[in-house]
């Protein structure tokens, strides 16, 4: 099912999703840190209040003890009032200690002890010595409670600070884990989105390469975002259009070749009749003109046949009948088929390399390509020269290489040497000018096998190298033989 969203919209959605996920993790961590900061602020304020309370209790205890002792000696009501005032202030300081759970019990005991001192001061039935001893003992209790309150406050503050520090460290660790998980998830999501979104792009690239290589029988179907799917439909329309144009071209070539061959045959027959003197004896000038006509009709006939042969080769190249073939044996057959041609020029042929390299190829089509290369090498080799064939492997590919000792290919023509009907400026002496389709047919046949042909750099002459893939399970590679066959 083709998605309605475009590639750009999906890509934007992916970035938004990853941004939201990372933002959510960041906000969660920020919120947790703010909560810890609030607790830390509250604990700090409470610690200040508790410390102030315990410090004030020490001062109020001293004031109360001084006022009580003076009251016991002098019996002055003003001193008794001073004790009550100090006691009231002490109770006010005890308010945060009473609310704080760890010190609430001690604070209540402290209040009770102060109340007991007040009752002792008001008990006039006790002897003066006993009353003084009882008040002194109660103030020692009060002093002990004050010290214990101070210790308890300090201990509670330390425990709370440690708990806050532990919570902060735990939250920091949790935040780090969340960020790491978010980063990993975002990376995996980005990778998944990247693979999912770029897969249609790879298919588009494959489809474009297939169109460029002339594989027009493969429909273009792109599944993915709407804009890429639409582009796939346009490419498929282009494929169909190219198929129609290719069929029109083939049809035109067949028709025009047929239409040309019929009047050309009549023209050649007429020239032959004139040359045979059927219409009467020819003068020297007339015979020369008839010879020119006969030569040009022969050239035109050859060009028409070359055109038909190139068209047939391009058509047949896409309909291979593969079978396991020993490349060295196939090459030997091609060399034997042209033995008369290269022996007539006194050439020496060397065939060397791997004798057991097997590939699934169409021997007829690949043999045609090898034959064209051999004919080209024979045509450009000087009399008595040498042509060398080599079969082997190079960088994971099967190699069929031929090199000659001819004039080679000029640098400015190397890029066009495989173009149809291109004839180079360097031509062999005393040889008819070629049609320029031999190397084009070689390229068609090699490309149909999934390989390529290149004009390799060589010290002298031309060196053509056919490269075929070794990926087929039928391919068998053995160590290259060190023996050479001298044909």
> pLDDT by residue for the chain (487 residues), tens digit each?
344 566 667 667 777 777 777 777 777 777 877 777 787 787 778 788 888 888 888 888 888 888 888 887 787 888 888 888 888 888 888 888 888 888 889 888 888 888 888 888 777 777 767 878 888 888 888 888 888 888 888 888 888 888 888 887 887 888 788 778 878 887 787 777 777 777 777 887 888 887 776 677 778 887 777 777 788 888 888 888 887 887 777 677 666 666 666 777 777 777 777 777 776 777 777 777 877 877 777 767 766 766 666 666 555 555 678 899 999 999 999 999 999 889 988 999 999 998 889 999 999 889 988 998 998 889 888 899 999 999 999 888 999 999 998 888 887 888 888 877 777 677 776 665 666 777 888 888 888 888 999 988 766 788 999 999 986 444 444 443 333 444 4
Counting Cα atoms < 13 Å in the Cβ hemisphere of 302 gives 13
Measured CA to CA, the distance from residue 372 to residue 385 in angstroms comes to 18
Domain edges within the chain: 7-190, 247-316, 323-486
Other Cβ atoms less than 10 A from the Cβ of 111: the count is: 17
User: Hey, what are 479's tokens?
Assistant: 């160590």
> Is the sign of the CA dihedral 27, 29, 34, 39 positive or negative?
positive
Environment class of 179 (CB within 10 Å of its CB; exposed 0-12, middle 13-18, buried 19+): middle
Give the H or E element holding residue 465.
strand 463-469
User: Hey, what are 180's tokens?
Assistant: 């790491």
pLDDT score of 332: 93
**Could you give the C-alpha distances from 323 to 327, 360, 401, 477, in angstroms and in order?**
12, 5, 21, 16
Give the 3-state secondary structure percentages of the chain, helix then strand then coil, rounded to 5.
70, 10, 20
User: Hey, what are 111's tokens?
Assistant: 């209040």
pLDDT score of 387: 92
Measured CA to CA, the distance from residue 330 to residue 337 in angstroms comes to 11
pLDDT score of 250: 67
Measured CA to CA, the distance from residue 131 to residue 5 in angstroms comes to 96
Q: How many residues does the chain have?
A: 487
pLDDT score of 468: 93
**Could you give the C-alpha distances from 78 to 67, 72, 388, in angstroms and in order?**
9, 12, 134
Q: 346: alpha, beta or left, given left = phi > 0 and alpha = psi -120 to 50?
A: left
pLDDT score of 483: 36
Measured CA to CA, the distance from residue 463 to residue 434 in angstroms comes to 19
Cβ-Cβ contacts under 8 Å for 50 (sequence gap 6 or more): 96, 97, 100, 103, 153, 156, 157
Alpha helices by DSSP H, 75-126:
77-93, 95-99, 101-122
- Rounded to 10 degrees, what is the CA torsion of 468, 474, 475, 478? -160
Measured CA to CA, the distance from residue 426 to residue 410 in angstroms comes to 8
- 175-183 — which CB contacts under 8 Å span 24+ positions? 175/25, 175/29, 175/32, 175/33, 178/25, 178/28, 178/29, 179/25, 179/26, 179/29, 182/21, 182/22, 182/25, 183/22
Cβ-Cβ contacts under 8 Å for 470 (sequence gap 6 or more): 359, 393, 396, 397, 398, 477
- Do 388 and 352 meet the contact criterion of CB atoms below 8 Å apart? yes
Closest listed residue to residue 246, CA positions, set 314, 306, 320, 321: 314
Q: 450: alpha, beta or left, given left = phi > 0 and alpha = psi -120 to 50?
A: left
Q: Which CATH number is correct for 323-486, 1.25.40.10, 3.30.565.10, 3.40.50.360, 3.20.20.70?
A: 3.30.565.10
What are the residues facing 323 on neighbouring strands?
361
Q: 76: alpha, beta or left, given left = phi > 0 and alpha = psi -120 to 50?
A: beta
Measured CA to CA, the distance from residue 256 to residue 373 in angstroms comes to 29
Measured CA to CA, the distance from residue 265 to residue 298 in angstroms comes to 10
Return the residue matching tokens 């002990």.
Answer: 144
Cβ-Cβ contacts under 8 Å for 403 (sequence gap 6 or more): 377, 387, 388, 458, 461, 462, 463, 464
pLDDT score of 352: 92
Measured CA to CA, the distance from residue 167 to residue 37 in angstroms comes to 11
């Amino acid at each position: 099912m083709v998605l309605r969203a475009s590639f750009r919209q999906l890509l934007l959605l992916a970035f938004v999703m990853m941004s939201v996920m990372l933002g959510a993790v960041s906000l969660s961590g920020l919120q947790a840190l703010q909560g810890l900061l609030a607790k830390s602020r509250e604990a700090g304020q409470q610690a200040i209040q508790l410390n102030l309370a315990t410090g004030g209790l020490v001062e109020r205890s001293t004031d109360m003890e001084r006022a009580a002792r003076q009251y016991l000696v002098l019996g002055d009501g003003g001193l008794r009032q001073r004790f009550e005032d100090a006691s009231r202030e002490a109770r006010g300081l005890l308010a945060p200690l009473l609310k704080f759970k760890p010190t609430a019990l001690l604070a209540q005991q402290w209040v009770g002890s102060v109340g007991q001192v007040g009752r002792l001061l008001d008990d006039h039935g006790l002897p003066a010595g006993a009353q003084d001893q009882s008040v002194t003992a109660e103030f020692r209790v009060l002093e002990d409670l004050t010290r214990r309150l101070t210790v308890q406050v300090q201990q509670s503050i330390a425990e709370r600070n440690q708990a806050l520090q532990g919570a902060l460290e735990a939250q920091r660790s949790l935040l780090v884990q969340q960020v790491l998980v978010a980063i990993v998830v975002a990376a995996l999501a980005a990778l998944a989105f990247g693979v999912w979104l770029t897969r249609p792009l790879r298919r588009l690239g494959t489809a474009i390469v297939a169109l460029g290589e002339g594989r027009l029988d493969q429909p273009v179907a792109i599944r993915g975002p709407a804009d890429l799917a639409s582009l796939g439909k346009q490419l498929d329309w282009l494929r169909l259009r190219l198929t129609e144009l290719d069929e029109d071209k083939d049809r035109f070539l067949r028709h025009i070749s047929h239409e040309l061959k019929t009047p050309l045959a009549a023209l050649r027959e007429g020239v032959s009749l004139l040359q045979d003197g059927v219409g009467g004896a020819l003068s020297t000038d007339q015979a020369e003109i008839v010879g020119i006509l006969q030569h040009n009709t022969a050239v035109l006939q050859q060009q028409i046949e070359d055109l038909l042969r190139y068209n047939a080769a391009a058509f047949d190249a896409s309909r291979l009948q593969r079978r396991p073939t020993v490349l060295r044996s196939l090459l030997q057959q091609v060399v034997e088929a042209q033995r008369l041609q290269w022996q007539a020029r006194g050439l020496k042929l060397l065939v060397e390399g791997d004798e057991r390299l097997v590939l699934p190829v169409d021997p007829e089509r690949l043999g045609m390509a090898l034959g064209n290369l051999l004919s080209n090498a024979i045509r450009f080799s000087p009399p008595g020269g040498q042509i060398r064939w080599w079969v082997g492997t190079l960088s994971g590919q099967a190699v069929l290489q031929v090199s000659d000792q001819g004039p080679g290919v000029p640098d400015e023509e190397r890029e066009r040497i495989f173009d149809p009907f291109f004839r180079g400026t360097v031509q062999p002496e005393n040889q008819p000018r070629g049609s320029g389709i031999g190397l084009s047919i070689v390229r068609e046949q090699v490309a149909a096998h999934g390989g390529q042909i290149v004009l390799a750099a060589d010290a002298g002459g031309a060196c053509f190298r056919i490269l075929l893939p070794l990926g087929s399970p039928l391919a068998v590679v053995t160590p290259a033989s060190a023996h050479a066959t001298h044909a």
